[in-house]
Structure 1
Amino acid sequence: MIAAMPLMIIPFILYNLAVVGLLGDGGIAALHHDVIVLSMLSGAIWSMALGDLLIVVALVVLFFEILKATRPGSGNLMNHILSMLVFIVFLVEFLLVQDAATQVFFILMTIALIDVIGGFAVSIRSAGRDVSIGL
């Protein structure tokens, strides 16, 4: 049952923790605070804000979600249903919560949608290869 849990809930929880203030100062301004600052060999300064880091985390999570969709098993259907619910929660929060009306949250919501569509597409494609019709 744990394997059926959608991993996209991780960026969702991290975003809400950041906005509430448990990962920083709180509020939308917390998404703009730099968490990584590096001096490059060219002399340029490269920085990554918390919001950007959340997007990178979501992309890594999406990779693992697509890998999970390729596994055969009965947990796939439950994973797809829960992934759809996570996307619906993203959508509802985006529409109803003022602190969720940001570009970062919209990108996270889009990644959750790609997770749902990609998971279904991969599962359908792999299921089609598993079916053999004897003549």
Structure 2
Amino acid sequence: MARFFPFMLLAVIAYGVTVAALGVPLSRELLNIGLPSGTAFVLTVSELLLAISTVVLFFEIMNATSAKSSSILNHGLSMVVFIACGLIFLFIPGFGTGTFVIITLMALVDVIAGYSISILTARRDMTFGNNE
């Protein structure tokens, strides 16, 4: 079941729960650490959500390297997540932010990478003629 689950949905859910449901502002500081350079490292909710989304995207791309038939279902569901993100961005208050646009772009990268990797894998696995 995990092979065809679109993990980018987790990033969208994390955003929805944090920002839309709980009302946590994207600019809220979560961490403020002084660095030896004298600069303060500040981590906001927005940056944490984007970091989580980036890690999720990594696992999605790793999942796309599978040549199993379940990957086709995963690609289709990933496309549904991307389309849903676009519609949510346009029509649901609280999702019209730069952070959510970047998460939506990550969902698009997931779709493009999934199909591209599948095509390249299929092309590599194809053999033409008799190689004897």
TM bracket, shorter-chain basis:
over 0.9
Rounded Cα–Cα distance in structure 1 between residues aligned with 2:69 and 2:21: 39
Q: Deviations over 1:37-84 (max 9, x none)?
A: 211111211111111111111111111111111112111001001100
Give runs of aligned pairs for residues 14-53 of structure 1, distance below 5 A: 14-22=14-22, 26=23, 30-53=25-48
Q: Does 1:82 align with 2:83?
A: no
Rounded Cα–Cα distance in structure 1 between residues aligned with 2:21 and 2:37: 35
Secondary structure, in 3 states, of the residue corresponding to 2:122? helix
Displacement over 4 Å in runs of 4+: none
For structure 1, list consecutive stretches of 5 or more residues without a partner in the other structure: none
1:21, CA displacement in angstroms?
4.2
Residue aligning to 1:61: 56
Contact 2:27 2:45 in 1 (8 A): yes
Secondary structure, in 3 states, of the residue corresponding to 1:110? helix
Give identity over the alignment, percent. 37
Rounded Cα–Cα distance in structure 2 between residues aligned with 1:66 and 1:17: 24
1:122, CA displacement in angstroms?
0.7
Rounded Cα–Cα distance in structure 2 between residues aligned with 1:2 and 1:64: 11
Residue aligning to 2:106: 111
For structure 2, list consecutive stretches of 5 or more residues without a partner in the other structure: none
Residue aligning to 1:9: 9
Which one has more relative contact order, counting CA pairs under 8 Å at least 6 apart? 2
> Compared with structure 1, are the counterparts of its residues 57 and 14 closer, same or farther at alpha carbon in structure 2 (3 Å cutoff)?
same
Which amino acid in structure 1 is aligned with residue 69 of structure 2?
Answer: S
Alignment RMSD: 1.2
Rounded Cα–Cα distance in structure 2 between residues aligned with 1:21 and 1:86: 19
Which amino acid in structure 1 is aligned with residue 116 of structure 2?
Answer: A
Instruction: Provide the TM-score with structure 1 as the length reference.
Output: 0.91
Rounded Cα–Cα distance in structure 1 between residues aligned with 2:129 and 2:4: 32
